[in-house]
Chains A and B, each alone.
Chain A
Amino acid sequence: MIAKMRGNYLLLTIIIIALALFPFVSDSRTLTILLTQIFIFAILAMSYDVLLGYTGIVSFGHAMFFGIGAYATAIILKKTEPTMLSFFLSIIVGMLLAGIVSFIIGLLTLRLQSHFFAMFTLAVSGLFLVAAEKSRTLTQGNDGFTFRAPEFFADRTTFYLFVLACLLIIFLLLRLFVHSPFGSVLIAVKENETRSAALGYKAIYYKVMSSVVAGVVASLAGSLYVVSLRFVNTSVMGIDITLNALLMTIIGGVGTLVGPILGAAIIQLAQHNLSNLAKTYPIFERWIIFFGIIYILAVIFFPKGVVGTIREKLGRKS
């Protein structure tokens, strides 16, 4: 067991070093940008996994937290001098707002059946999307606006490394979180709410806290996302973002944290390649259909995802 864990850490370290060295070895700008996107979506997907995998609740409004972070950063960088200070400030503002919103939503709906949370988050995120479209003075609606990123990120490689570091830190923090006593209670609540309630755990408290953590991390992903584009529009609030997070988490492996990272890579690479294919074969313009079908099949036949399934197989062998 310990040897296996050491092996895992060794593997992780090798992968991280390889990824960190990657931009110095390869001079493919496209690939660097693609990897940056993968890292950002990996952060988003991990935050989703905290909800779905570790707390057993489904949110259809995760895009709103992503969007909150995205707009907080874009607006602050637009209105102020784009320094690293205002960048960090914007991240904190986004996280705070996301935390407050997820806290309120959680408090309102998490004591009810899981349906309510899914429905409510869907509706509230719809509201946020409309609000973003209507507040044209601030957001310029669907047209969006461009802004300047801090000088420090002018070099794509620097930003790449920064996002990779964020991914690593968030991964370690979330790992710590789900393996903490708090995380164990979360899983207990997920497995059997009545019983954990009998043991004296207030399920609602744990669920709300987990939704706050997920919201805050998603906001960070949003902040990083807009800086990578140097542009923001209402699509950051769109349901597609939520679906991406959902898909990445499910394909990669629910409740594993590593899975969503892998899922992010799979989905981003597939999207990248499929939209290239669309130039030759128009049917691939509707690549979302393939995702929808794969997703449905995954939910029915492959509910543990790639990582979950591998772990199950390995677990059986030993």
Chain B
Amino acid sequence: MELWINLTVNGLATGMLIFLLASGLTLIFGLMSVLNFAHGGLFAWGAYAGVWFYTVTNSFTLALIGAILTGAVLGFITEKLIITPVYGDHVQQILITLGFMIVLSEMLKVVWGPNQIAAKVPPALSGSWEFGDVLIIKYRLFIIIIGFLVFGIFQYILKRTKIGLIVRAGVLNKEMVQALGINIKRVFLLVFMTGAALAAFGGALMAPYSGVIYAEMGMDFAILAFIVVVIGGMGSFPGSLLAAILVGLAGSYMAYYVPDLSLAVNMIIMVIVLIFRPQGLFQVKG
């Protein structure tokens, strides 16, 4: 029982981190038809920025805010410099965003050196809670709560606010949104920056969770996020949460029971989805 709960908590926590990465990816894709291969780089930058701000300010809250701002600024730069020049050309977008991914992770090495950096859990969140026989690590629970909170906030924004409506409408029909007087390019930039900020936030949360950060972590996590985006349905926000939890849990259980298959299981889920439901579990109506 205890084992089972722990594996579930682990899986959920990992799932939430993947969700933070995948949700931005899926929104950016849905709205702009851009698959951002540099997204993992933003995640890694968030992790490094978080650790750096934490050592400088000694406040985890400020570290998270610093990471979010870093992500938003990088998102702004990416959208303006990398995405806009090749807008509308899929092949070029794919090529250029991967190139930028490389630049982002190499820049990390230039700024912070090529070696792994240790990341500490803030004191308030370290240790664990006991529930009867079950020991739950505080920080993992914290990640899970934050993940659901982020989902709730964004779901509210998407469903209830004007900008959320515009984003949803834009996913369905960009031309018509413009014909209704909305400057879609500004919406693009906003969504891109938000997605980047979410990825960086995920990275900052990830750092204390894994204990070490390294420049290539972005790519490793991005692959999981891509799998999630395919499974959840490209452009679907709730789909990315469910798929991320699925991938997180599957990874966690498999890592314990059949460690050799832990990455393979996600691939297998993705292959099954691609064969039977290429539009993903949650299709965005068009």
Which residues of A pack against B, CB within 8 Å? 52, 56-58, 60, 108-109, 111-116, 118-120, 122-124, 126-127, 130-131, 134, 239, 243, 246, 250, 283, 285-286, 288-289, 291-293, 295-296, 299-300, 303
Contacts and interface: CB of A to CB of B under 8 A. Distances in A.
Which secondary structure dominates where chain A touches chain B? helix
A238 B91 CA distance: 22
Nearest to A190: B91
Contacts of B92: 299-300, 303
Contacts of A114: 90-91, 94
Given A118-B37, A126-B220, A295-B102, 4 more contacts: A123-B270, A246-B95, A246-B98, A286-B109
Contacts of B37: 60, 118, 122
B220 to A, nearest CB: 8
A307 to B, nearest CB: 17
Nearest to A249: B95
Contacts of A112: 274, 278
Interface stretch (B131-139, B148-156, B186-194, B222-230): B222-230
Contacts of B106: 286, 288-289, 292
Given A288-B106, A292-B99, A295-B99, A58 B274 contact: no
Contacts, number: 97
Contact of A250 (B95, B114, B234): B95
Interface stretch (B9-17, B55-63, B201-209, B259-267): B259-267
B82 interface: yes
B91, B99, B223 — which one has the most chain A CB atoms within 10 A of its CB? B99
B274 A288 contact: no
Nearest to B274: A108
B219 interface: yes
Given A116-B274, A243-B102, A286-B110, A300 B90 contact: no
A116 B102 CA distance: 20
B35 A296 contact: no
Contacts of A123: 223, 226-227, 267, 270
B226 A122 contact: yes
B278 A134 contact: no
Interface residues of B, number: 39
B103 A289 contact: yes
Chain A to chain B: the 6 pairs with minimum beta-carbon distance, closest first: A292-B103, A292-B102, A289-B106, A115-B35, A295-B99, A119-B226
B91 A124 contact: no
A127 B264 contact: yes
A80 to B, nearest CB: 27
Interface string B225-242: 011011000100000000
Contacts of B263: 126-127, 130
Contacts of B82: 296
Nearest to A285: B114
B230 A119 contact: yes
20 contacts: A60-B37, A115-B29, A116-B230, A116-B278, A118-B35, A118-B94, A120-B274, A123-B223, A124-B267, A130-B263, A239-B219, A286-B110, A288-B106, A289-B102, A292-B99, A293-B103, A295-B99, A296-B96, A299-B86, A300-B96
Contacts of A288: 102, 106
B90 A113 contact: yes
Interface in B172-219: 219
Nearest to A111: B278
Interface in B79-113: 82, 85-86, 90-92, 94-96, 98-100, 102-103, 106-107, 109-110
Contacts of A109: 274
B86, B106, B270, B275 — which one has the most chain A CB atoms within 10 A of its CB? B106
Contacts of A118: 35, 37, 94
